Chains A and B, each alone.
Chain A
Amino acid sequence: MAKSPSPGQAEKALSSAQRHGQSLKAVNEKLADLVASLRNQKRRLAEYSQSGAPPASGGKGEASMVSDPSERTLAAELALARETLEHSRQEEGRIRERLAEIESENRRLCDEYVAVQEQNSELVNLYAAIERLHGAPDRTEVLSAIQEIVVNMVGSEEMALFELAPDGRRLVPAHAFGVESDALREIPVGAGPVGRAAAEGRIHVTGEDGASAFPENPHLTACVPLKLGTKVTGALAIYRLLGHKSALTDFDRELFALLEKHAALALHASGLQERIAGER
């Protein structure tokens, strides 16, 4: 049978039990804090995995501040996730920059494509004009080709074509379309805008602002001398443009330069052809 403790021993035992209880309580509180901390970490990681947004920072040296291995693992995973996120952000930035570069390049190429297409269009029109002038079998067809070029490419339904008389002093009307008959009188070389264009052997056109270069005849838009080499053989007068065409363009000037040389050549060739045919 056990011997019952003395009062002194009982007090000691009680005191020891109380200290042990307090120690256990402190450990318990620490464990409760740790559990709460882990739950908090778990909740933040779950939020992060769902939203992609980084969890609220636990402060610098999070991993080093925790002593529990599982908490350290979580902290390391969190740090890795943050690093991956940062890397993804940098990659996204690089991709965005590259996209902007590609878009800029695409715009430049589109502009170039449009410019090339416009150039192509002008070349097609110039080709068609030359083909028509030199493919015409006779004088009537050459005159018809000149008229069609003026109507469909320049955009005017009023024109008159003059040829130099054998004496070289007068311009004689050879063909007209959409103009009053008084525009079809003979013109002395050097007189008026048409005569001046023939005398100078130079193309005269209205300004880019549409202001007429011909005070004597404000309806005139362009006077084009027709030349065989350097020799003037006639002149083409183009009057008002169509209502929907406000002014001449650079392409029109190229077309006038083409007409200046090739219309005269085509008319000359058709004249020769008719003469040869007549002699046969």
Chain B
Amino acid sequence: MSVKAEAAPQTPSRTPPTAPQWSGAQRKILIVDDSSTVLLMERTLLSRNNYEVIAARDGQEGVEKALAEKPDLILMDVVMPRMNGFDALRRLRSYQSTQHIPVIMVTTRGELQSVESGYENGCNDYVTKPFGALELLVKVKSCLGE
């Protein structure tokens, strides 16, 4: 599937979107990370907390899966092959069907410039690795309005 499946990208919104209120159904979370270790950690953590988890190994695959699967939340790494997390985030914000999906950046890039860049591109929250499970869960629940 191509990332250009949806035509006419719109201007990225500067205001991070908020998730709709929880309806009781199992929420779907897309993890975008090239590290198998991180995917395993996050998948284990989230599935144990009753979330449906799907994964992508780089930014491009992340955008494709977001367009196809319409997840409730995306956890996005920054440094990845093919398309980095910031570019993927910009893409997501340009498509009407994905611009409302909350995105949490989960990355080793903790310097101020990267954090600012994340928020400028429209992320909802920013978590630096190594992260604590509780910290990530709290942010996930907050972004999902739970």
Contact across chains for A244 and B37 when beta carbons are under 8 A apart: no
Q: Does A223 contact B (CB under 8 A)?
A: no
Instruction: Collect the chain B residues with CB atoms within 8 Å of residue A245's CB.
Output: 130
Instruction: Collect the chain A residues with CB atoms within 8 Å of residue B45's CB.
Output: 121, 124
Give per-residue flags for B107-120: 1 if the beta carbon is below 8 A from chain A beta carbons, else 0. Answer: 01011000000000
- Smallest CB-CB separation from A125: which chain B residue? B41
Instruction: Collect the chain B residues with CB atoms within 8 Å of residue A153's CB.
Output: 37, 41, 130
Contact across chains for A152 and B130 when beta carbons are under 8 A apart: yes
Query: Chain B's interface: helix, strand, loop or mixed, by majority?
Result: helix
Q: Does B68 contact A (CB under 8 A)?
A: no
Q: How many Å lie between the Cα of A129 and that of B38 in the bound state?
A: 10
Contact across chains for A243 and B111 when beta carbons are under 8 A apart: yes
Instruction: Collect the chain A residues with CB atoms within 8 Å of residue B133's CB.
Output: 117-118, 120-121, 124-125
A148, A155, A243: which contacts B38 (Cβ < 8 A)?
A: A148
Residues of B in contact (CB 8 Å), total 19
Q: Does A139 contact B (CB under 8 A)?
A: no
Which B residues contact A (CB, under 8 angstroms)? 35-38, 40-41, 44-45, 48, 108, 110-111, 128-130, 132-134, 137
Q: Does A145 contact B (CB under 8 A)?
A: yes
Q: Does A76 contact B (CB under 8 A)?
A: no
Instruction: Collect the chain B residues with CB atoms within 8 Å of residue A243's CB.
Output: 110-111
Instruction: Collect the chain A residues with CB atoms within 8 Å of residue B132's CB.
Output: 118, 121
Q: How many Å lie between the Cα of A154 and that of B110 in the bound state?
A: 14
- Smallest CB-CB separation from A151: which chain B residue? B108
Instruction: Collect the chain A residues with CB atoms within 8 Å of residue B36's CB.
Output: 132, 145, 148
Distance in Å: Cβ of A143 to nearest Cβ of chain B:
13
Distance in Å: Cβ of B82 to nearest Cβ of chain A:
18
Contact across chains for B134 and A118 when beta carbons are under 8 A apart: yes
Q: How many Å lie between the Cα of A125 and that of B131 in the bound state?
A: 10
- Smallest CB-CB separation from A146: which chain B residue? B37
Contact across chains for A124 and B44 when beta carbons are under 8 A apart: yes
Instruction: Collect the chain B residues with CB atoms within 8 Å of residue A117's CB.
Output: 133-134, 137
Q: Does A131 contact B (CB under 8 A)?
A: yes
- Smallest CB-CB separation from B45: which chain A residue? A124
Q: How many Å lie between the Cα of A242 and that of B111 in the bound state?
A: 9
A118, A129, A157, A242: which contacts B37 (Cβ < 8 A)?
A: A129
Q: Does A80 contact B (CB under 8 A)?
A: no
Give per-residue flags for A97-132: 1 if the beta carbon is below 8 A from chain B beta carbons, else 0. Answer: 000000000000000001001101100110111011
Nearest 8 interchain pairs by C-beta = A121-B133, A244-B110, A148-B37, A128-B41, A128-B40, A117-B134, A155-B130, A148-B35
